[in-house]
Amino acid sequence: MERSLLVLTLALDTCMLPSLPIGGDEDESGSTSSDSQGDGKTSTSGPSGSTTSTTGVATASTGAATSGGMVETTGGGEMEAGDGMGPGEGTGVGSGTPDETGGGSTEETGGDPAPVPVPENDDIECELGAPPAASANPLLPNPFSRFDGTLVTTREEWRCRRQEILALAESTLFGEKPTRPAMVTGTVSREEGITVNVSHGGRTVEFSASIQWPSGPGPYPVIIGFGRADPASHSAVVREEGVAIINFPNTLIASETLRTDKRGAFYDLYGSESDQGLFIAWAWGVSRIIDVLEEAGGDLLRYDAVGVMGCSRFGKGAVVAGAFDQRVTLTLPVEPGGGDLPIYRGLSTVDFPTPTQIYEETYWLGDAFEGYVDAIDWLPIDSHEVVGLIAPRGLMILDNGFIPELAPVASHLAALGGAEVYRALGAEGNLGYVSEARNNIHCEWQPQFDAPFRNAIRTHLTQTADLPSEIRAHPDASGNLAEWIDWSTPTLE
């Protein structure tokens, strides 16, 4: 079954608010694209005269790993130790020297069976009927009510209900996420980070990303870190836990320009006139990185222990990436704010951001969301269902109740609503939400984040603990889910 609905959820970037300071701009150069020569090989020029030669074989679109293809990369550039998840990101194939603070062996530890790759979306074969007729609803839609009006009662039924929610998310919020292209190849190395080469429809694009390495023996779990998303202390915590960081090259995948001027590797492949917004384009880029991790075999980085994280608009992007790829083990959005995590219906209770502001900020959301900016009650989905798409996998939301522009009450409601899906699946402890903070400085690492953040990493990535997460809202920024729903939660057998 193919989902043909295209629309993206635009997220308001509260980092752009004058009262919320954040670091500088990202480099938008470095991705390359070329017309296919028909021989499976392309040669393109990158920044600073770097060159890339790529050979590869077609891979199946099932998400399974294949052994074809080799990418050789040369290039300059250097990344300083301790850089966060953005400034040190690759600005082209071969750029960026990985941070190797702490050294460490790269040999397999041995003894454990090899992980089995899982599909990007393992229930895509579900046959979906037509969605119900549109109607206004001021309450949060029932995540357990199928298109035909019947209620989900089993886990098997939930699998296809999840596909219905994905289809709604694509058609009204994010736009359609393309399935895996015919050819995805690349390499993973300590010296040159990760390179990714994708061919589709006679076009080829390439991008790369630097890697921050932890100490100790590998292979390492890995977090794909979005953009200028976190302070150096955040990266240090990740590496202290024995987890590597891929500095996700957001602007190479999809650059934050204008809706009428969409740029980046994604749009080079699928067209600048496409309806998809930044969030789904970034999610697509995350999936292609995971494809390469699978193809590399897990010798350096584990493809069965992958997290995504980011702050502000990059936290929103992390949520979408986690929702749309079931290979993501742990999703870690930090202070994501309005336009993705807070319930859209709840934005009516705050002065800022409004749905119109969310849509017009840039093209984070898909084009179709424009039709709902003045009619949010007609939206057939809401953010609590996007949260539910991640279930039962790990999700830890780190919010800030001191910043009203983040709409923390609406975010708390999204967490509470999504937690009902986790509860139905018997996985309540896999979702956490914390909005306690010490100040209102956006994207500053808060001491209150440290314990839940580390616990989530240890439970879902390194698997050195089994610590259930909690939902704990700031007392002045909490919502009451009972006021927003008229449905009950089943226990799915």
Instruction: Characterize the bridge pairing of strands 203-209 and 193-200.
Output: antiparallel
Span 429-448, average pLDDT: 93
In the prediction, which pLDDT does 208 show?
96
Nearest to 372 by CA among 4, 9, 58: 9
Nearest to 388 by CA among 364, 358, 424, 342: 424
Give the pLDDT band (50/70/90) at residue 85: very low
The DSSP output letter for 485 is: -
Rounded CA gap, 161 and 412, in Å? 24
Structure-model confidence comparison of residues 345 and 41, the more confident one: 345
Q: Where are the domains of the chain?
A: 14-103+115-122+159-483
pLDDT tens sequence across 339-351: 789 999 998 777 6
pLDDT tens sequence across 277-292: 999 999 999 999 999 9
255: which 2 tokens?
């650059």
Give the pLDDT band (50/70/90) at residue 194: very high
In the prediction, which pLDDT does 356 show?
84
pLDDT tens sequence across 157-176: 999 999 999 999 999 999 99
In the prediction, which pLDDT does 112 show?
53
In the prediction, which pLDDT does 231 show?
52
CA distances from 80 to 23, 176, 227, 239, 486 (A): 16, 37, 16, 15, 52
pLDDT at position 9 over 60: no
pLDDT at position 43 over 70: no
Give the pLDDT band (50/70/90) at residue 19: very low
Residue type (1 letter), 417: G
Nearest to 191 by CA among 102, 96, 52: 96
DSSP string of 213-236, one letter each residue: PPSSSS-EEEEEEESS-S-HHHHH
DSSP string of 129-147, one letter each residue: -PPPPP---SSPP-TTB-T
Q: What phi, psi does 240 have (nearest 5°)?
A: -60, -30
Rounded CA gap, 264 and 249, in Å? 10
Least confident of 18-22, 148-152, 408-412: 18-22
Q: For the chain, give the percent of residues with pLDDT over 70.
A: 74
Nearest to 380 by CA among 131, 184, 206, 188: 131
As a 3-state breakdown, the chain gives helix, strand, coil percent values, each rounded to 5, of: 30, 20, 55
Q: H helices of 271-407, where?
A: 278-296, 313-324, 355-361, 383-390
Least confident of 70-84, 289-303, 342-356, 393-407: 70-84
Rounded CA gap, 261 and 1, in Å? 31
pLDDT tens sequence across 255-313: 888 888 899 999 999 999 899 999 999 999 999 999 999 999 999 999 999 999 999 99
Beta bridge partners of 331: 308, 395
In the prediction, which pLDDT does 227 show?
76
Give the pLDDT band (50/70/90) at residue 240: very high
Which residue numbers are catalytic? 312, 442
pLDDT at position 429 over 70: yes
Spell out the SS3 assignment of 241-283. CCCEEEEECHHHHCECCCCCCCECHHHHHHCCCCCCCHHHHHH
In the prediction, which pLDDT does 210 show?
95
Q: Cβ distance 410 to 346 under 8 Å?
A: yes
Rounded CA gap, 417 and 152, in Å? 16
User: Rounded to the nearest 5 degrees, what angle is found at the Cα of 435, between the Cα atoms of 318 and 137?
Assistant: 70
Domain 14-103+115-122+159-483 classification at class level = alpha beta
Average pLDDT, the chain: 79
Rounded CA gap, 36 and 447, in Å? 50
Give the pLDDT band (50/70/90) at residue 182: confident
In the prediction, which pLDDT does 460 show?
98
Nearest to 176 by CA among 252, 275, 93: 275
Residue 260: exposed, middle, or buried by beta-carbon count in 10 A (0-12, 13-18, 19+)?
exposed
For residue 492, what is the enclosing H or E element? none
DSSP string of 135-199, one letter each residue: ---SSPP-TTB-TTSPBP-SHHHHHHHHHHHHHHHHHHTB-PPPPPPSEEEEEEETTTEEEEEEE
Nearest to 490 by CA among 389, 393, 422: 422
Rounded CA gap, 335 and 163, in Å? 27
pLDDT at position 428 over 70: yes
Structure-model confidence comparison of residues 321 and 3, the more confident one: 321
